Amino acid sequence: MPHPQEKRILFGWRDVEGIGGLKGYKDKGGYKAWMDLLKNKQPSEVIDLTKASGLRGRGGAGFPTGMKWSFVPNNLGKPKYLCVNCDESEPGTCKDREIVEHIPHQLLEGIGIACYAVGIQKAFIYIRGEMYEGYLSLKKAIQEAYEAGYFGKNIGGTDFELDVVLHRGAGAYICGEESALLSSLEGERGFPRLKPPFPAVSGLYACPTVINNVETLATLPPIFRMGVEEYAKLGTEKSKGTRMVSLSGHVNNPSNFEIELGQVDFKRLIEEFGGGMRNGKKCKAIIPGGASAPWLTMEEHGSVTLDFEAIAAAKSMAGSGAIVVMDEDTCAVGAALNLVEFFHEESCGKCSPCREGTQWLVQILHRIEHGHGKMEDLKLLDEVCESMLGKTFCPLGDSATVPVASSMKYFRDEYEHHIKEKCCKVGHGAKKAASV
């Protein structure tokens, strides 16, 4: 059941009985928005309307969706492709999974709208291998859409045609990066590519390619159903509409919530939507946009609203919408180590700053965490981070430095306590780290 304070646009039909199937979706008016656009609007008009809605990408960067579509050239004499990034692998993020499992046809209708707007006749959905239920849900929905004439040739009695291919990944975090996703789709190892050229010009099979996140595309049908002007009234001047956030960590009610951008701050999100902190503990730190986002503290940033600009002004990023909450008993060093271990494990190894740098960060943090660190290690951590920032082939290396830099920025005293006292300052602080 939705939280009473949610602003449900994307998930407006989430709990409708039978909405996962074609009949249930059509009974509510599903596919009507796309068919109306297909028959009554030119592709360029659909792009302009998407721009007017203010919809920004929900995958992490927050780039305006309509503008992204407009970058795709029409004069290269090559086919154009849409790649749907459903490789949801950012720690703490689980919104795309809920979309594909419960409202798959809404995503498919969004794919249809995007493809018509850009003039694309083939779309690929790259879904994370572990999302097996979502894969089955989408597979069935795609089959239903083909049988009903929403995919294939002469869609809606027009000359527009569209084929949709569902592709399962193998669970590599790096394939969430758009160029690595393209490499994987082509049957190559999931390595990131050098940019430029950007995918809009040379993407899948060296052809113009649009890459959109699941939430972005699934938001399109509700926008066109309610009208772009009405949607644009929601949110802030620069962050329009609503978005899904995946709230997890030390809260009483972890869940996905759809909130109006700019109208909810972190304090309210945790206390009202999340049901407050578990066991009456205080909130220590917040990761506002997935593991790649710089940490914030409740003390300094509780009043920061959940929109792209406000979070950026706080020196972090909205990212994937994964909001992880840590309580006062969380060891900052241990939390940083846990995240860096993840990035080290998921590094593709293509470039040495990331391959070697993540290993160094793990080793240094591990010895500090277990009571074997030296004060010189703090300087060494800074140096390793400096050697990685901006010097890796893709953003994963930069992301790996974020937990270290953030935890040392706000909780340097915990690092020093680990080193000097050989034990943790919080949580299991009474236990000697060296004896663990």
The tens digit of pLDDT for each residue in 242-274 reads: 999 999 999 999 999 999 999 999 999 999 999
Whether the predicted pLDDT of 161 surpasses 90: yes
Cα separation, 68 vs 51, whole angstroms:
9
436 has a pLDDT exceeding 80: no
Looking at every residue in the chain, the average pLDDT score rounds to: 94
Task: Find tokens 């849900």 and name the residue.
Answer: 137
State the sign of the Cα–Cα–Cα–Cα dihedral 137, 140, 146, 147.
negative
The separation between CA 295 and the C-alpha centre of its own chain, rounded to angstroms, equals: 16
Q: What's the CA gap between 321 and 352, in Å, rounded?
A: 30
Mean pLDDT of 27-40: 97
Is the pLDDT at 428 greater than 60? The verdict is: no
CB 129 within 8 A of CB 171: yes
Band of pLDDT at residue 75, cut at 50, 70 and 90: confident
- In the chain, the domains with their CATH numbers are 22-232 (3.40.50.11540), 242-327 (3.10.20.600), 332-435 (1.20.1440.230)
User: CA 164 to CA 142: how far, in whole Å?
Assistant: 7
Is residue 60 very low, low, confident or very high in pLDDT (cuts 50, 70, 90)?
A: confident
Q: How confident is the model at residue 2 (pLDDT cuts 50, 70, 90)?
A: confident
Distance between alpha carbon 113 and the CA centroid of its chain, in Å?
21
DSSP state of 9: S
pLDDT value of position 381: 97
**pLDDT band (50, 70, 90) for residue 429:** very low
Range of lowest pLDDT (291-300, 311-320, 366-375, 419-428): 419-428
Could you report the per-residue pLDDT of 312-366, keeping only the tens digit for each? 999 999 999 999 999 999 999 999 999 999 999 999 999 999 999 999 999 999 9
Across residues 210-234, what is the average pLDDT? 97
pLDDT over 80 at 87, yes or no: yes
Q: What is the pTM of this model?
A: 0.95
Confidence of residue 433 (pLDDT cuts 50, 70, 90): very low
Structure tokens at 193: 């590519």
Tell which residue, 45, 211, 47, has the closest CA to residue 126.
211
Q: How are strands ordered across the β-sheet holding 81-86?
A: 163-168, 122-127, 81-86, 209-213
Contact indicator for 344, 358 with CB cutoff of 8 Å: yes
Residue percentage of the chain with pLDDT more than 70: 98
Half-sphere exposure of 210 (CA within 13 A, CB side): 35
